[in-house]
Structure formats: structure tokens, C-alpha cells
Amino acid sequence: MQNTDKIVTLVEECREMRLPLIVPDVNLGEFNFTVNNKREIVYGLGAIKGLGEGPINAIIEARKSGGPFTSLLDFCRRVDSRALNKRALEALVRAGALDSLQEGGKDLARAVLWESIPDTMKAAEQSSRNQALGVQDLFGDIIPVVETPLSVPGSRTRVRPWSEQQRLTAERETLGLYFSGHPVDEFLPELARFTRDRLANLKPERESQLLAGLVVDLRFMKSRRGEPIALIQLDDRSARFEVSLFGKEYEQHRELLVKNSLLVFDCLVSIDDYNGTMRGRGREVMTLDQARARYARSLDLRLRHDALTADFLHVLERQLQAHRPPPAPPAASPDGSQKQAAAGCPVRIFYERRDVRGTLVLGDPWRVLPSQALLQALQEEFGRSAVALSYQS
């Protein structure tokens, strides 16, 4: 149970064998991995990092005595508070073990549950004190309300759904693996616009080719001549592929070599004469943001009049200004004069209202660096489907 590497291997084997595996759930799980009546493997609560045996036993005991938990407040009221602290609750939320207690899909559910923890724990403690004293609250139990983007305005806290990357990172930190997806999944359609192919379909060629993947392993060594070498294991869910960086290329890009980061490589793919497998020799390394800045043609926003707030122009202005590129050095024109080279990519707005639709191309002062931070901020404000990067054919 405590060997995360072994759990990762077994979970992947379950997926390859198409054995159904249920996310950790306080209403279903035991301490160990179990099999339910539907012949599904139920993730063991004991495999969640940050959750000890004491809290798990308290959860199982409360569930057996009172039935399934119906809400976060119900959960906090019934599970012994001496065994279940804030840290354990946070681990349960991050692992997805409380998803069944909140409506709205896992990303919204986890965001709401996370924000609800402090007030819910206080409400549960107050309810326990009232019961111990035999006091009946005039208004009943006070249930904390968290406002979501779809809620009625007026509540104290407003939260937005977790991003896919935030959810997956939380799962990896509490379960030791990406359970509900893979960090590469979200970017595969975009990567296909400028990389040659998925890792499983690579073929050796004389010309260099672009490929991308998540860094799942890093090894460093030196050649016989003392030249530094980095061996990078990439994964894009289709296959794993090793890319090596030697000497000058390694020194130039060493700061980008971080485990669990998504990187784009320009490399030569060849057959290893020693073992007959394919390998890559990297010539250049880019982060996804750097690749976007180089290959993206424009940042496209699709906005509908009836879906916009009154201050949307101010919001858009603030977001774009925060991600403007630094001034580019002057570039020489054919006639010998110096002109300012435009950095970043332009912004196009496809605007639609009931009686008209049109395209607005913002001028050079509004060019932006198409970073993940900007895309995520715009998606949170205008919707995921309203924001996209356009690439050359």
C-alpha cells in the first residue's frame, strides 16, 4: 500500500487489461483495494498520501453505523473530529474521494469542496457542541454556501472549477499518479498542429523533426571525454521515447529539464545500432509556451454579445495588457532602415450578436505572448470553447 511505484505499475496494468478501477470514494472504499459487487476494483483509501489509518478507520466506522455520507457537512458531523483534521480533509478532496458528496462534475466539485472546508468544519463543530449540550438551534444547522459561477449571486465565496492541470497535479501529489487523465491529453490537439506525430508513430529520418511529451524520467551522466549528457524520457500516452542532449545543447537548455514538465524537442530520430530501438538526439528544447510564441499565428476569441458582462472590455484589456511581450529589437528592412519587429502574436475577436457577426483584428500594440497563464485566464472569463490558438496549416 505504501509503495507508490508499485501502485502506479499495477494501475497501468489494470488499464491495459481494461479492468474497471473506481476513483477513491469515502462512500465505497475500504483501507485496502477491494472489489465491489459489480466486479470493479475500488481504490484503497489507505493509498492516499496524507491520510493515516486513524482517519480511515473513523470514516469506515461512521459509514457502517449511519449509512452513506450525503454532503460534506454530513461527513464532517459524523466522522470523529479528533481523527479527521483539516489536512486529512484536504487530502481527500485532492484525491477525489469526496466527489460523490458534491454535484457539478469533478472539477467544480473539488473546487467547491476545497473552499468549503473551513466553514464546514466550523459548522460541524458547532453542531456537535449543540448536540452535546442538548441545544436545539432555532434555525437548524447552518449549512455553509459557496457560490459557483452558476449560483445565485450574494453568497460569500465565489469559486471557479479547477483546471484539468490543477486536478491532475493534485491527484499525482495524493495518489502518486495521474488518475482521471494525463497532463498531455489536454494539449494533444494543439501539439498536432506543429509536431510531426505522436511518439508511437515516429520514424527515423535524416531531417530533424519536432516531437513533444511529458518528462517522466531524467538521467545525467558524462561521456568518456567528460562531456555532460542528459537522457530525457518522454511520454505522450501513445509511447515513451528517450531523447539525449549532449554538451552544448545540454548546457543551453539545462534549466528547462524539469520532471513532469511538457517539453517540445527539435531532434534527429535514428535507430540505435546497439539495441535496435529508436532514439532521439535533441538539437533544441522549448517549453510549450515558447513553442506557441514561435508557431502560433493568432490568439482567437469567439465572443457572443448575450454571454458577455457589461465590463467585459475592461476585463479583456486587463488580461491582454498583463501578457504583452517586451519590446523587440529593431529589425533591418530591405532599404536599410531600422523598423521595430512585432513580437508575440496578434489577437482576433470573432464577435457575434443577434443581428450581425464580424471579425476584429487588434493592432500591434495588443499583440500578446500566448502563454498558458493567459489562455487559462481568458478561458475562465469567457469559457473554454471561446479561446483557441490558430496555427499555420
Based on the fold, state whether residues 64 and 143 are members of the same structural domain: yes
CATH number at residue 88: 1.10.150
d(CA 176, CA 338): 54
Based on the fold, state whether residues 78 and 145 are members of the same structural domain: yes
Whole-prediction pTM: 0.70
User: How many domains does the chain divide into?
Assistant: 3
Based on the fold, state whether residues 220 and 265 are members of the same structural domain: yes
Place of cell 532514439: 279
Based on the fold, state whether residues 165 and 18 are members of the same structural domain: yes
DSSP string for 345-367: B-EEEEEEETTEEEEEE--GGG-
The answer as to whether 49 is a domain residue is yes
For residue 390, list its beta bridge partners.
298
Q: Cell for 237? A: 500516452
d(CA 355, CA 320): 28
The answer as to whether 210 is a domain residue is yes
The answer as to whether 103 is a domain residue is yes
Q: Is 43 exposed, middle or buried (0-12, 13-18, 19+ CB in 10 A)?
A: buried
Predicted pLDDT of residue 10: 86
The answer as to whether 181 is a domain residue is no
Predicted pLDDT of residue 42: 94
The answer as to whether 19 is a domain residue is yes
Walk along the chain (393 residues) and give the pLDDT tens digit of each residue: 778 778 888 888 888 899 999 989 999 999 999 999 999 999 999 999 988 889 999 999 999 999 999 999 999 999 988 888 999 999 999 999 999 999 888 999 999 999 999 999 988 888 777 666 665 554 555 555 554 444 433 344 568 889 888 999 999 899 988 888 888 988 999 999 999 889 988 999 999 999 999 998 899 999 888 899 999 999 888 888 999 999 999 999 999 999 989 999 999 999 987 877 888 999 999 999 999 999 999 999 999 998 888 898 999 999 999 999 987 666 555 565 555 456 889 999 999 999 999 999 999 999 999 999 999 899 988 988 999 999 986
Based on the fold, state whether residues 283 and 299 are members of the same structural domain: no
